[in-house]
Amino acid sequence: MHSVVLDREGTDLVGGEAADLVVIAMPLYGHAALAIEALETAFASQTSCRIEVVVSVDGDPRREVFDALTLYAATRPELHVIFGPNAGPGGARNRAIDFIVGNLPDAKAVYFLDADNRVLPTTIETLYQRLVEAQCGWVYTNIDTFSVRWGAHYGDRYSRLTHCVSDNICDTGSMISIDVFRAGVRFDADRQNGFEDWEFWLSCIEAGFVGAPCHDTAFEYRLRAESRFKEANRDRAASVSFLRRRHKALFRRSTLVDFEHEECPRYAFLRTGDGAIGCFTDPTKPASELDFDEAIRAFWGSAAEPDNVHFPPFLAAASGETLKLLKQSRLWPNLLMHLERATEAANVVFVQIGNATAERGIDIEVQPSGYVRKGRADLVFVSSTIVRDAIQNDALGWLGSIASDQIWPTVAVVKVRFPFPGAAPKRSSATPEQSLINLVQTIATSPLKSMADRRWTWRGARLPALSELYKQLRTEVGGAPVLPLGQARDGKRTLALLVPNASFGGAEKVAFAAARELKAEGYETHLFVLGSARMDVLDEFDGAFDHIHFWKAGIPAWGGSNRFLGQDFIAEHHDIDWNALKGLLSGFDLIINNHVMAVHPLMARLRSEGARTACYLHVVDETPLRRPAGQPFAAIAHEHCYDAFLACSEQLKVYLHSYGVPLEKIFAVANAPSISVKPKMMAEIAEHRQQRAPDAPLKVLYMGRFEPQKGIDRIHAALQDLRARGVPFEALAVGGEILAEQPSSWTGKLKEIGVAVRPPVFGGREIASVLAWGDILIMPSRWEGAPLMIAEAQLVGCVPVATAVGAVDELVTDGRDGILIEGEADLKIVADLAAAVEALARDRGLLGRLRDGGLFTASGRSWAASFGAFVEWCDQAVTPTPRIVARAPRRAAQTTNNEIEVSAVA
């Protein structure tokens, strides 16, 4: 300790420099008889700092307060008193803070001392030194109360996650850096807020400050039988709800996961080969490294003092190559969620990775005890609880069988497949199973095991176990498991695009196009395939997503637990895996629901948490009895949950408006081609068409499913008629009979009349090639939205001949860039279709004009233009979750020396 000397102006000097000024701020109301005691202890502080005290009298009606303070102030130049009308504890503290910031510019820190509490002589010095050393926002102590005895240990290290999701872990009797107040942080003066102290710390966290515990000192907390704290706790739910509303950004999934990642990571990843252990929650962020020794200490420390020591609740082992591959797969965060869930169904989880060129998918099988393995695992995943149980129950042999052929723990085998270049990852000589067992054996035989059942910290634990915080996070988010992703890099906004399946349908392609445009705008894009565990790889859109997620279990494609205008919709009491859905979808900045019916009931909650929500609709379906049905009605039933609707046509926009959706909320997005054709290929196609002989048979093309909705029966009848009348044409039908509703095969019938039939094609280049073959594309559908195929046909000079259903007339202008067939009667449509084909077969000049018209129309289409208005809305409406970056006060670190410096005492 340094002694203090005074210069001529009375300024305390240490080593010739002015001592740091620490201000003790004391709000005063209702403690007239105790305040002087608090002041006495404050001025009795033994410290190298200068001390000033600011008492903020909060309209206390006791005259004793004025008399006592006046007498006291008369002898204490370092005492400042502010009198003001009653403003509540927050308001009174704010007055003191404002005074300090405005009038004591050299203050370095503020200590809040309640008027009924006391400080020890060393409290201020110890806390201030710790503040300087830790370079943190504030330093807090454990709490020991007097009068009514109570004590609390608030952890050996500070955790923002704990502070946010469990309880207030810092009393206001803490040493706070002046930087906190200079950054504008203040108490909330709202009297509705029963936890103004907790709220203040949350504001500090939000402003980027962090705390640090100091167990080397304490203050004396007077506890009586009844207190304001008790009063506030009686209405805890309301107070906590107030905090959540006031600090929405803090309670976003991404923010909390970032805290978890830094403070109590969920996963420990053991790298086979070098044995390094990386701890992380967000697999896209750098992991913290643990060596074996540290891991063992953390394991047993966590067992003995779970509130002080953290060991990740899940343990994985795999080679570095496997980890690299999984990171590249874009499935890694989603896979981790599946692994967490799988540990609830099985003791151990194996992951097997497969290379699939054209699809992605995750399949899970659970095997009973005694399972004989088929192939080695690329990755092993277990919960730390299983490891702990195995050690404590002397069941290491049981757990160790995971490295043998027959496995006695129950096993979940997670098969994940995705395209990756080259051969399967190089396997490490050490298998993941054996590496994991080695670690467990090492832990089990550590000498620390013998002392693991004893707590050495004598104050009772008041905090939840750090290793269990992931469960508190689940509760906070309202979902389980919680997507292990923190905030996006570079402050990007995040988009979640939800689809019920990801194959080659037009609705998916359009939604993918939306994601592609938003990614180009700087969004981090996530594709959620909900209700399915696979997707086809679309080369055109494969790069549109930064992450891909699947969740199949517990999410039906359709269902009705209630009705809206006679239409089914899923309500909240439906037996859906809401936990998984909420855990997946919480925390995104923008969510676009593209026909996932099960998600509608969640949207209101997601929106209230800060997400902007949009619903993408493509078509009004019809039942066999021609009742309008489908996704739009479930969406309209949840209209208030969405900030925006995207419709594929003006027609659908008006339709939605007719059901009460405000026009301003609806963006009509004209469809554009889902394929791109390079100029060279375009030139080749044009040249090929010009070289065709004028009298060559007309090439008639159909692409799509062979089903009544698409008018396959009409196509058959029209082509049969044309054949009968000897119109020269060649026909090609590309597609398949996907729906097994037809009584007989259309493939066979088409072949009977000389139509070539080919299976469906999905690659952009293949689609373009097929369209380039055809002179015309026929599409006599019974209902449609705004089919992409028309735009794609026009793009390559294939003339569309289509029924004017849905928004087809927004894509085709009859006689300019295609031919529209009006009406509903099948006979008329068949006749008109045949007539149109015949006209084009005989009049190649007309064909040429329509082709040119189509090319011209196509040249004006682009997704960028179509999504322009929506993207502009997003720019204004969607804000990224504020990034909480921990910062330290800008003060040069001072070294401390435990030794007495003689020069200071002499």
* Binding to other proteins in span 301-330, by CB under 8 A: 301-305, 308-309
**Do 47 and 124 touch, CB atoms closer than 8 A?**
yes
Q: Per rule CB under 8 A, is residue 901 in the interface with other proteins?
A: yes
Give the range of 2-10, 161-169, 258-266, 489-497 binding other proteins by CB under 8 A: 2-10
Give the range of 559-567, 577-585, 741-749, 896-904 binding other proteins by CB under 8 A: 896-904
Tell me the CA distances in angstroms from 775 to 278, 623, 816, 844, 846, one per residue in order: 60, 33, 15, 10, 12
H-state helical runs in 565-677: 578-585, 600-608, 631-637, 650-658
H-state helical runs in 148-224: 160-165, 178-182, 196-206
Residues 140-169 that bind other proteins (CB under 8 A): 141, 144, 146-147, 149, 151, 156
Under 8 Å CB-to-CB from 742, ≥6 apart: which residues? 706, 707, 708
What is the chain's percent helix, strand, coil content, to nearest 5?
A: 40, 20, 40
Site string for other proteins, 437-456 (x = CB under 8 A): ----------xx-xxx-xxx
Under rule CB under 8 A, how many of the chain's residues touch other proteins? Answer: 91
Q: Per rule CB under 8 A, is residue 899 in the interface with other proteins?
A: yes
Closest CB 506 distance from other proteins, rounded Å: 59
Of residues 144 and 650, the one with the C-beta less far from other proteins: 144
Of 518, 569, 519, 511, residue with least CA distance to 535: 511
Give the range of 6-14, 788-796, 853-861, 870-878 binding other proteins by CB under 8 A: 6-14
Give the whole-angstrom CA distance, residue 572 versus residue 580. 14
Residues 191-220 that bind other proteins (CB under 8 A): 215-218, 220
**Residue owning tokens 């608030």:** 154
Q: Phi first, then psi: give them for residue 381, nearest 5 degrees.
A: -140, 130
Of residues 237 and 902, the one with the C-beta less far from other proteins: 902
Answer for which of 83, 292, 504, 762 binds other proteins (CB under 8 A) is 83
Give the range of 95-103, 345-353, 374-382, 662-670 binding other proteins by CB under 8 A: 95-103
Of residues 457 and 503, the one with the C-beta less far from other proteins: 457
Of residues 40 and 575, the one with the C-beta less far from other proteins: 40
Closest CB 473 distance from other proteins, rounded Å: 24
Of residues 467 and 866, the one with the C-beta less far from other proteins: 467
CA 272 to chain centre: 30
Of residues 44 and 877, the one with the C-beta less far from other proteins: 44
Q: Per rule CB under 8 A, is residue 39 in the interface with other proteins?
A: yes
SS (H, E, C) 337-363: HHHHHHHHHCCEEEEEEEECCCEEEEE
Give the whole-angstrom CA distance, residue 860 versus residue 619. 23
Residues 450-509 that bind other proteins (CB under 8 A): 450-452, 454-459
Q: Per rule CB under 8 A, is residue 122 in the interface with other proteins?
A: yes
Q: Per rule CB under 8 A, is residue 116 in the interface with other proteins?
A: no
Q: Per rule CB under 8 A, is residue 36 in the interface with other proteins?
A: yes
Closest CB 267 distance from other proteins, rounded Å: 21
Of residues 109 and 647, the one with the C-beta less far from other proteins: 109
Give the whole-angstrom CA distance, residue 165 versus residue 470. 10
Burial class (CB in 10 A: 0-12, 13-18, 19+), 77: exposed
Give the whole-angstrom CA distance, residue 19 versus residue 793. 81
Q: Per rule CB under 8 A, is residue 37 in the interface with other proteins?
A: yes
Residues 512-571 that bind other proteins (CB under 8 A): none
Of residues 40 and 190, the one with the C-beta less far from other proteins: 40
Of residues 121 and 522, the one with the C-beta less far from other proteins: 121
Can you spell out the DSSP letters for 869-881? Answer: HHHHHHHHH--PP
Closest CB 229 distance from other proteins, rounded Å: 19
Q: Per rule CB under 8 A, is residue 665 in the interface with other proteins?
A: no
Under 8 Å CB-to-CB from 9, ≥6 apart: which residues? none
Q: How far apart are the first and last CA of the chain?
A: 12
Q: Per rule CB under 8 A, is residue 184 in the interface with other proteins?
A: no
Q: Per rule CB under 8 A, is residue 63 in the interface with other proteins?
A: yes
In eight-state DSSP terms, residue 818 is B
Q: Per rule CB under 8 A, is residue 292 in the interface with other proteins?
A: no
Q: Per rule CB under 8 A, is residue 25 in the interface with other proteins?
A: no
Peptide bond into 481 cis (omega under 30): yes
Q: Per rule CB under 8 A, is residue 13 in the interface with other proteins?
A: no
User: Quick one: tokens of 688?
Assistant: 């090929």
CA 113 to chain centre: 40
Q: Per rule CB under 8 A, is residue 86 in the interface with other proteins?
A: yes
Q: Phi first, then psi: give them for residue 705, nearest 5 degrees.
A: -70, 145
Give the range of 277-285, 292-300, 486-494, 602-610 binding other proteins by CB under 8 A: 292-300
Can you spell out the DSSP letters for 274-325? Answer: T--EEEESSTTSPPEEE-HHHHHHHHHHHHH-TTT----SEEEEE-HHHHHH
Give the range of 63-71, 623-631, 848-856, 866-874 binding other proteins by CB under 8 A: 63-71
Closest CB 279 distance from other proteins, rounded Å: 17
Give the range of 56-64, 163-171, 548-556, 618-626 binding other proteins by CB under 8 A: 56-64
Under 8 Å CB-to-CB from 739, ≥6 apart: which residues? 705, 707
Closest CB 161 distance from other proteins, rounded Å: 22
Q: Per rule CB under 8 A, is residue 835 in the interface with other proteins?
A: no
Q: Per rule CB under 8 A, is residue 16 in the interface with other proteins?
A: no
Q: Per rule CB under 8 A, is residue 47 in the interface with other proteins?
A: yes
Of 312, 323, 315, 302, residue with least CA distance to 260: 312
Q: Per rule CB under 8 A, is residue 70 in the interface with other proteins?
A: yes
Task: Quote the crossing angle between the two packed helices 826-842 and 712-725, to the nearest 10°.
Answer: 50
Closest CB 219 distance from other proteins, rounded Å: 9
Give the range of 332-340, 416-424, 618-626, 892-900 binding other proteins by CB under 8 A: 892-900
Give the whole-angstrom CA distance, residue 670 versus residue 869. 11
Closest CB 125 distance from other proteins, rounded Å: 9
Of residues 50 and 417, the one with the C-beta less far from other proteins: 50
Residues 330-359 that bind other proteins (CB under 8 A): none
Closest CB 95 distance from other proteins, rounded Å: 6
Q: Per rule CB under 8 A, is residue 78 in the interface with other proteins?
A: yes
Give the range of 77-85, 242-250, 413-421, 876-884 binding other proteins by CB under 8 A: 77-85
Of residues 70 and 241, the one with the C-beta less far from other proteins: 70
Between the CA atoms of 181, 186, 187 and 188, what dihedral angle is there, to the nearest 10 degrees?
Answer: -170
Closest CB 454 distance from other proteins, rounded Å: 8
Which helix (H) or strand (E) is 410 found in, with range? Answer: none
Q: Per rule CB under 8 A, is residue 372 in the interface with other proteins?
A: no
Q: What angle do CA 598, 343, 365 make, to 5 degrees?
A: 70
Q: Per rule CB under 8 A, is residue 572 in the interface with other proteins?
A: no
Under 8 Å CB-to-CB from 847, ≥6 apart: which residues? 698, 775, 776, 799, 840
Q: Per rule CB under 8 A, is residue 388 in the interface with other proteins?
A: no
Dihedral sign for Cα 891, 895, 898, 899, please: negative
Give the whole-angstrom CA distance, residue 698 versus residue 676. 25
Q: Per rule CB under 8 A, is residue 225 in the interface with other proteins?
A: no
